[in-house]
Amino acid sequence: MRALVSGFLAWCIGIAFSHAQNRTLLYDFYEIPQSLMVNPGVQTGFEWYAGVPLLSGTWTQGGSSGITVQDIFGNDGLDINEKIRQRAVYGMDPRDEFTGTFQVELLSGGFRGRNHPENFYSFGIYSEGDAITYWLGDLAVLAWDGNADQLGRQFDLSHLKTQGEMLNVFHFGINRQMNDRLTLGARGKIYSGIFDLRSARNDGYFVTVEGENNLLANTLDSDMRLQTSGLESLRRKLEDDGADQTAVVQNHILSRGFFGGDLGLGVDLGFSYQLNERLLLTGSLLDLGFMVHASDVRNFSLEGRATSEGVQIILPDALEDPDQNFWQDLVDEIEALIPFEEDASTYLALRPMKLYASVRYNTGGSGRPAEPCYCDYRTGNSSGNLPYRSAVGGQLFVINRPRGPRAALTAFYQRRIGNALALKATYTVDKFSLTRVGLGMNLQAGPVEFYLLADNLLAYGNLADAHFASLQFGLNILSWGRN
Amino acid sequence: MKKRVARFLGFWLFFLAIGCVEEQNFDQADDIAVVPEMEAAMLYMEAPEEVINEEPGLTFLSVTFDFLAFQEEFVAENILDGSLIYQLENTTSKPLRLSIEFLNDAGTLLDTETFTMDPAPTAILNREVVYGPAGKPMDILRNTVALRISGTNLGDTSSVSEAPEPKFVLRSTAKFRIQLQ
């Protein structure tokens, strides 16, 4: 149990602070080729680009809507058990979440069609991990205080909601400028699942009430399920005596991440629409897809309803069988009513779908013609010709999560400085923070392009007290013209 | 313009550069104590007066059965202290005695709890037996694998109480603190 408790704490803290899914700064930052990954219909002016393998796009993001590391582990002289009781067990809500995502591009590139220069093709492979766990709510109270003197209180088992996955994504996208105003994009994805763990559709309760016969009756009404894939074989290998654990994990990730594990399909869709020479509307829908978990699957379930008033000896019936084993009868009865079962049946999981939308007003325009040019691949042979000098706007982000959609609203200001530098500042409001300020920079020196995007900067003074942090960076070689 | 850019970049880099973590005391994790108090029904016994009267030897109940609630590895290793709470009710016309004996896996008697009840009308008997530092040794429960329950009629075998459905009832619960962390 110590391992379980430590494991849960590590899971929460690991989720929140090693790795949320909102790439606010990257969205519509179209000087950066990776903006195609959050809107395949973004306006592009590149001729081609090649990401530096493993360095073209690294992104890590974490959020905790309830507590921070500082709240629990701050060196404040307070008793840690009181801090946990007040700030977590009785201070958090089952809707509070610990969430995190990381993404590392293994391979990335793109090129404009030779015969159809209105098309820009992009492709690549990236590795992604995504995890979310909601605060355990009633289950945390049960674990912390127990059920004693809580007559009639139903401990809600649906408060257990968690899921996590790691996968490689192989993708190919087409971005097509339909006309002066409209750009559409689509990206097909093949998912190669490395591991998956989910327990998100639980229901039921545990309650203690006055018994019909005895002083108490304990009732468990459970509809709980944990589904896993890609973890059982890893566990077995790690348990082998003499196993090099690092090598085992590396081999497991490599073998399953390149079509040796689960498979899935998905698609990203996006558009940009120029309402007039200044106003731009964009939107995208990402990861409309699914994974079929069919390999190395191990599922656990606890389904049924049982009420116990303990061992019952009711005369004269109890004396009819002198060999009656009251204890075993009770255990057998409960196990028959709520069996704990394991299986290896295939399951299907939807990817966490994301929606982005933005409205953007371009102003200024270095060297920009008086008349709108809706600069594109035909006119924009240099990043300096992009149709704005500065821009302001708003963005909406929505992601589908186990407890329903989670949204974020962002206001942004973007500024180009010469041909080499573009900056973006954002202010975001979401469930993690009301004071999220982010800054991003894209720097181009000749064909070399580097970007660095950091969100929730105000929290960087003490990351331990941050409810949210995000960092992205990448290095590309690219051309805005035919070179 | 260049100065403004430089200021902007400086501001941004400043935030990244000062990105730091205030000193945390992770050693506090060693002090985390997750100690829930759990409560569950344990044993219920019911003997109607007519059944008691049918036993000429006056021992109307003698039964031994496995009781492994405290043998579960997790419970045995992590249970700290607690109590067994008994409630006895006698609406029969005769005095009665009930004993609960705690036996280990060799059948050795570890402890006995005895209750004596006057004939009805008599008050309900409530008893809480504490185990742990403030009571009986926890090892009694940790080593208990079976219970022997004996019921003895201390009166006659012919009288019948005027109470509706006269019977002798034992109710009990277990309430214990368990160290999870």
For helices A245-255 and A232-239, the axis angle rounded to 10 degrees is 150
Closest-CA residue to A431 (of A402, A470, A405, A465):
A405
Q: What is the SS3 string spanning A409-464?
A: EEEEEEEEECCCEEEEEEEEECCCCCCEEEEEEEEEECCEEEEEEEECHHHHHHHH
Dist. CA A352–CA A340, nearest whole Å? 29
* pLDDT at site A241: 79
Contacts of A117 (CB under 8 A, 6+ apart): A377, A378
Rounded CA-CA distance A392/A369 in Å is 20
pLDDT at A379: 44
CA distance A94 to A9: 16
Alpha-carbon span B19 to B17, nearest angstrom = 5
Please give the Cα distance from A253 to A236 (Å, whole number).
Answer: 15
CB contact under 8 A, B171 and A213: yes
| B88: chain A residues, CB-CB within 8 Å | none
pLDDT of residue B3: 64
More confident residue, B180 or B88: B88
Using pLDDT thresholds of 50, 70 and 90, give the confidence band for residue A323. Answer: confident
Smallest Cα–Cα separation from B102: which of B68, B59, B57, B153?
Answer: B68
Any B CB within 8 A of A56 CB? no
Rounded distance, CA A440 to CA A38, Å? 16
Instruction: State the average pLDDT for chain A.
Output: 88
Q: Please check the confidence at residue A3 and state whether its pLDDT lies above 50.
A: no
Half-sphere exposure of A160 (CA within 13 A, CB side): 19
Q: Rounded mean pLDDT of A35-57? A: 92
From start to end of A7-92, where are the E strands?
Answer: 48-51, 58-64
> What is the DSSP code string of A260-292?
ISEEEEEEEEEEEEESSSSEEEEEEEEEEEEEE
User: For an interface test with B, which of A1, A315, A366, A413 has the most B Cβ atoms less than 10 Å from its Cβ?
Assistant: A315
What size, in residues, is chain B? Answer: 181
CA-CA-CA-CA torsion for A238, A241, A246, A251, nearest 10 degrees? Answer: -60
Q: CA of B46: which chain A residue's CA is closest?
A: A314
pLDDT exceeds 70 at position A449? yes
3-state class of A206 per DSSP? strand
Token couple for A427: 């202010």
Whether residue A69 lies within 8 A of chain B, CB to CB, comes out as: yes
Identify which has the larger pLDDT, A18 or B154. Answer: B154
Average pLDDT score over chain B = 89
Say yes or no to pLDDT of A483 above 50.
no
For A63-85, letters b (16+ CB in 10 Å) and e give bbbbbbbbbbbbeeeeebbebbe
* Euclidean distance between CA atoms A130 and A397, whole angstroms: 17
Task: Write the residue in A417, A454, A458 that is nearest to B5 by C-beta.
Answer: A417
pLDDT at B77: 87
Q: Is B27 on the interface with A (CB under 8 A)?
A: no
Query: So what's the pLDDT on residue B7?
Result: 66
Cβ–Cβ below 8 Å for A311 and B40: no
B78 vs B180: CA distance, rounded Å: 7
B164-to-A376, B44, B48, B73, B92 alpha-carbon distances in Å = 95, 20, 11, 44, 10
For chain B, what percent of residues have pLDDT higher than 90? 64
Q: Which residues pair with A473 in a beta bridge?
A: A58, A452
Taking only the tens place, the pLDDT of each residue in A195-230 is 999 999 999 999 999 999 999 999 999 999 999 999
Nearest CA in chain B to A3: B181
Inter-chain touch B25–A148, beta carbons under 8 Å: no
Task: Count other Cβ atoms within 10 Å, centred on residue B76.
Answer: 15
Q: Do the Cβ atoms of A420 and A443 come closer than 8 Å?
A: yes
Residue A425 bridge partners (DSSP): A413, A439
Residues of B whose CB is below 8 A from A454: 12, 15-16
Alpha-carbon distances of A300 from A200, A222, A344, B2, rounded to whole Å: 13, 13, 9, 62
* DSSP secondary structure of A353-376: -EEEEEEEEEE--TT--SS-----
Q: Are A425 and B11 in contact (CB under 8 A)?
A: no
Look up residue B80 and give its amino acid.
Answer: L
d(CA A176, CA B28): 57
SS3 A12: helix
What is the per-residue pLDDT across A358-411, written as a single tens digit (0 to 9) for each?
A: 999 998 754 344 444 444 444 444 444 566 789 999 999 999 888 889 899 999
Classify the C-alpha dihedral A457-A463-A469-A470 as positive or negative: positive
Residue for token pair 């629409």:
A273
- Which residue, A103, A168, A162, is CA-closest to A134? A162
What per-residue confidence (pLDDT) applies to A365?
A: 59
- Range 124-143 of A in CB contact (< 8 A) with B: 142-143
Q: State percent of chain A over pLDDT 70.
A: 90
pLDDT category at A21 given cuts 50, 70, 90 is low
Compare CB distances from B180 to A5, A148, A464 and report the shortest one's residue.
A5
User: What confidence tier does A434 reach under pLDDT thresholds 50, 70, 90?
Assistant: confident
pTM for this structure? 0.83
Q: Give the span between the Cα atoms of A134 and A132, in whole angstroms.
A: 7
Q: What is the pLDDT of residue B142?
A: 92
Q: Which residue has the tokens 């501001």?
A: B11
Measured torsion, CA atoms of residues A117, A119, A120, A125, in degrees rounded to the nearest 10: -140
Say if CB A197 and CB A228 are below 8 A apart: yes
pLDDT by residue (tens digit) across A114-165? Answer: 899 999 999 999 999 999 999 999 999 999 999 999 999 999 999 999 999 9
Question: What's chain A's length in residues?
Answer: 483
Report pLDDT digits (tens) over A68-81: 888 989 888 899 99
| Smallest Cα distance from B70 to chain A, Å | 12
- CA gap A445, A451 in Å, rounded: 11
User: Hey, what are A452's tokens?
Assistant: 């660095």
Q: Does B134 touch chain A (CB under 8 A)?
A: no
Q: Looking at A96-105, A379-388, A471-480, B23-32, which range is the least confident one?
A: A379-388
Using CA atoms, how far apart are residues A296 and A197, in angstroms rounded to an integer? 12
Question: pLDDT by residue (tens digit) across B108-148?
Answer: 999 999 999 999 889 999 999 999 999 999 999 999 999 99
Tell me the Ramachandran region of residue A55: left when phi exceeds 0, alpha when psi lies from -120 to 50, beta otherwise. Answer: alpha
